[in-house]
Amino acid sequence: MAFSTPASPSAESIALKRSPESPLRETWKRFRRHNMAAISLSVLFALILLVVLGPVFWPVAIDNIDFSARLQGPSLLHPFGTDDLGQDLLARMLYGGRISLAVGFAAMFTAIFIGVLIGSLAGMLGGLVDTALMWLTDLFLSLPLLPLLLLLMYLFRDSLKAAFGPEVGVFIMIVVVIGGLSWMPVARLVRAQFFSLREKEFVEAARALGASKARQMLRHILPNALGPVIVTGTIDVAAAILAESTLSFLGLGFPPDVPTWGRILFDSKDFLDIAPHWAMFPGLAIFLAVLTINFIGDGLRDALDPRRVL
């Protein structure tokens, strides 16, 4: 049903819009819709730039404890205020933001890597392999995500900390676990794309010319299947940022000396009545990052969706 084509142009315009619209208006509307994604893209870019270059312009230590400046609101000295130890929140947020965003992107790449691998294996080989892999995908789809994340963090955190140090160990752990639990939609998408693409004429031509299975997959099918994968991947970044923030907010993500946005929020929640700014800034930062990424994903979906020929 989702892939149906309109019976005729008129059927769609009557069904969806009461009055026919001029091409100019249509274009303007499309431009406006992409505009939201465009604005989001520049906001996200600014956010990333701020987080990456920020420490250069705001060289304040993140662990500079100053009890005379506890729980202060925003001021010139501390633009985002201070926490209960008098540490500068702007500096902490710039530092933590780098980790929060890095987790998001790294987890997305992990998810896409696993998803594309499993999806293309299932789609190319078919048969028993396909059945087994899709059963695995369905199994993973019905796993309770957050409880499992918590369980894995609980069981493996200490040994990874011992092996790689607290920061890197938890980072690897969180990225692998979030990526390893969110590859399923990508796998399904890639498999569906493979099924429809491998019967297309251009792949048949490649087959007739003697292209190996691997070459058909990598050169001909995969590039054509990438559109929806990019969209899903974008939204995965937002989901991963949310997942990391949730873990840290529950106190089970990064340790206290690694102030990711979720962790700052976790620390702030006992001081909501006297220091609301402490919760507001990291919360807004997470919200902004997730919102802009979701908008960009939506814009990409419109731009890359081949069935939307407006």
Partner 1 sequence: MVPFILRRLSIALPSLLGISAVLFTILALAPGDPFAELANNPNVPADVSAMLRLQFGLDDPVWQRYFRWLWAMLQGDWGFSFASRIDVDTLIWQRVPVTLAVIGASQVLALAIALPVGVISAIKPYSRFDRIASTLTFVGFSLPTFFSGLLLIMLFSIKLDWLPFVYRADISATGAQWWWEQIRQSIMPVLVLGLFQGASWTRYVRSSMLDVARLDYVTTARSKGLRERVVILKHVVRNALIPVVTLVALTMPHVFGGAIVTEQIFRIPGIGSLLIDAILKNDTPVIMAVTFVFACLVITFNLIADLLYGFLDPRISFR
Note the residues at the interface with partner 1 (CB under 8 A).
Answer: 1-2, 4, 6-7, 11-12, 14-18, 29, 33, 36, 135, 138-139, 141-148, 150-152, 154-156, 158-159, 238, 242, 245-246, 249-252, 262, 265, 269, 272-273, 276, 279, 283, 286-287, 290-291, 294-295, 298
For residues 168 and 266, give the distance between their C-alpha atoms in angstroms, rounded to a whole number. 20
Nearer to partner 1, 176 or 206 (CB): 176
- Least CB distance to partner 1 at residue 245 (A): 6
Length of the chain (residues): 310
DSSP 228: H
Nearer to partner 1, 71 or 279 (CB): 279
- Least CB distance to partner 1 at residue 213 (A): 30
Nearer to partner 1, 211 or 250 (CB): 250
Nearer to partner 1, 83 or 298 (CB): 298
Can you tell me which residue has the tokens 């201070």? 82
Nearer to partner 1, 11 or 125 (CB): 11
For residues 195 and 266, give the distance between their C-alpha atoms in angstroms, rounded to a whole number. 46
For residues 54 and 99, give the distance between their C-alpha atoms in angstroms, rounded to a whole number. 13
- Least CB distance to partner 1 at residue 211 (A): 36
State whether residue 98 is helix, strand or coil: helix
CB within 8 Å of 70: residues ≥ 6 apart: 82, 83, 84, 85, 86
Could you tell me how far CA 257 lies from the centroid of its own chain?
24
- Least CB distance to partner 1 at residue 268 (A): 8
- Least CB distance to partner 1 at residue 192 (A): 15
CB within 8 Å of 132: residues ≥ 6 apart: none
For residues 50 and 247, give the distance between their C-alpha atoms in angstroms, rounded to a whole number. 24
Residue 77: exposure state from Cβ atoms within 10 A (0-12, 13-18, ≥19): exposed
Nearer to partner 1, 100 or 110 (CB): 100
Degrees, nearest 5: CA angle 34-116-183 = 80
CB within 8 Å of 233: residues ≥ 6 apart: 108, 111, 112, 186
Nearer to partner 1, 54 or 282 (CB): 282
- Least CB distance to partner 1 at residue 224 (A): 23
Nearer to partner 1, 279 or 304 (CB): 279
- Least CB distance to partner 1 at residue 212 (A): 34
- Least CB distance to partner 1 at residue 220 (A): 29
Partnered with residue 82 across adjacent β-strands are: 88
